[in-house]
Amino acid sequence: MKIQVNCRRCGGSGRFSFNLIRGTVCFGCNGVGVQMVDLDKEAKAKARSASKAVAEEARRAMMIAGYEAVIAEMNLVLGPFDTMTEKGVSELNLACAKRFGKGIAQIRDDRVAAMSA
């Protein structure tokens, strides 16, 4: 279903910032001031956007949890480091790199990739 709405670019005035080709005529509505909007298409786009946001938030949470798990495990193996401070985590990261050839984030990324596969 399509409906007519004020142009989102010019707010319905039909005029926008000056350019040498078309003067002040709005490119969004060709100077008419209104646009036809497909509600079904917009609803689908909003649903896709919301779905992507949920997936991104889940991925972010998984990466944080994986990072914390690797820090805890490596602290037991190589520790004890004060992982409540940036200096302690940095020292733990250096110890991981010396022992395993990879930093904490790289170990986490490998584990997350293995879980996702």
Residue 114 predicted with pLDDT over 90: no
Which residues are CB-contacts of 12 (< 8 A; sequence separation ≥ 6)? 6, 33, 34
Pairing relation of β-strands 34-38 and 2-6?
Answer: antiparallel
Q: What is the pLDDT of residues 11-68, one digit of tens each?
A: 999 999 888 888 899 988 989 999 988 989 989 999 999 999 999 999 899 889 888 8
Q: What is the mean pLDDT of residues 74-101?
A: 88
**Measured between alpha carbons, how far is 88 from 11 in angstroms, rounded to an integer?**
54
**Domains of the chain: which residue ranges?**
2-40, 56-116
pLDDT for residue 73: 87
